[in-house]
């Protein structure tokens, strides 16, 4: 899953959301430099990734595009799924997506000092270009894919990924909905196990 899903799955806990958001920029298992709830968010993020990577429905989505994108398929499907979450946001959350996202940006700015340097560097661009909110449309997700392809020096060819999203849209959305139900249940169990309720 990508940014929006990780934030959403953290519930209403600001520090847990921040930890879940920054986790990909944190290496190793020593989280002592972070507040406890932020560290727990990093751990929760890793549980979510492990569950996602091993889920058979996610594999079905990857298989639809694997011949075109190879090992980049995992990253692309993560973003597809964030698109479906954003595009159907009212099915999942009572607050409008733009309000929810702007509040999260404000929380990140408030906690700027604890963010890893990598996150501090891209945060202004993320907010200015409103990356997370842009997931809700195919045009918006296309801009994200173009940026990611540029960062991979055109090796990933992710700029073409919106073509497969449109081609397999209905099938991918069914995959997302089936998987996300399982993921939400898994996260609820993990939060109880990790005492994150």
pLDDT tens track for 48-69: 999 999 999 999 999 999 999 9
Above pLDDT 90, what percent of the chain?
Answer: 86
Q: Could you give the CA distance from residue 193 to residue 197 in angstroms, rounded to a whole number?
A: 9
Whole-structure pTM value: 0.93
196 has a pLDDT exceeding 70: no
**CA of 21: how far to CAs of 135, 140, 150, in Å?**
16, 20, 22
Q: Could you give the CA distance from residue 129 to residue 143 in angstroms, rounded to a whole number?
A: 10
Burial class (CB in 10 A: 0-12, 13-18, 19+), 113: exposed
User: Domain tally for the chain?
Assistant: 1
30 has a pLDDT exceeding 90: no
- Domain that residue 166 falls in: 3-193
**CA of 77: how far to CAs of 88, 119, 162, in Å?**
16, 22, 11
Predicted local confidence at residue 197, as pLDDT: 56
Mean pLDDT within 23-41: 90
Which pLDDT band holds residue 192 (cuts at 50, 70, 90)? confident
Coil vs helix vs strand at 10: coil
Poorest-pLDDT segment among 21-30, 35-44, 123-132, 185-194: 185-194
Predicted local confidence at residue 139, as pLDDT: 94
Q: Decide: 64 and 171 in contact? Cβ < 8 Å.
A: yes
The pLDDT tens digits of the residues spanning 61-107 come to 999 999 999 999 999 999 999 999 999 999 999 999 999 999 999 99
**CA of 102: how far to CAs of 108, 126, 131, in Å?**
10, 11, 11
Predicted local confidence at residue 195, as pLDDT: 67
């Amino acid at each position: 899953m990508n940014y929006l899903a990780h934030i959403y799955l953290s519930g209403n806990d600001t520090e847990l959301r921040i930890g879940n958001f920054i986790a990909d920029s944190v290496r190793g298992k020593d989280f002592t430099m972070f507040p406890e709830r932020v560290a727990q968010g990093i751990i929760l993020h890793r549980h979510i990734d492990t569950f996602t990577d091993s889920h058979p429905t996610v594999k079905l989505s990857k298989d639809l595009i694997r011949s075109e994108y190879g090992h980049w398929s995992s990253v692309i499907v993560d973003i597809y799924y964030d698109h479906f979450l954003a595009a159907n946001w009212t099915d999942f959350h009572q607050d409008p997506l733009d309000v929810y996202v702007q509040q999260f940006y404000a929380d990140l700015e408030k906690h700027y000092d604890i963010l890893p340097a990598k996150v501090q560097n891209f945060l202004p661009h993320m907010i200015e270009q409103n990356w997370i909110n842009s997931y809700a449309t195919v045009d918006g997700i296309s801009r994200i894919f173009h940026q990611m392809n540029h960062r991979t020096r055109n090796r990933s060819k992710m700029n073409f990924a919106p073509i497969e999203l449109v081609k397999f849209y209905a099938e991918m959305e069914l995959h997302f909905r089936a998987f996300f139900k399982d993921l939400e249940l898994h996260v609820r169990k993990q939060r109880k196990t990790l005492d994150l309720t």
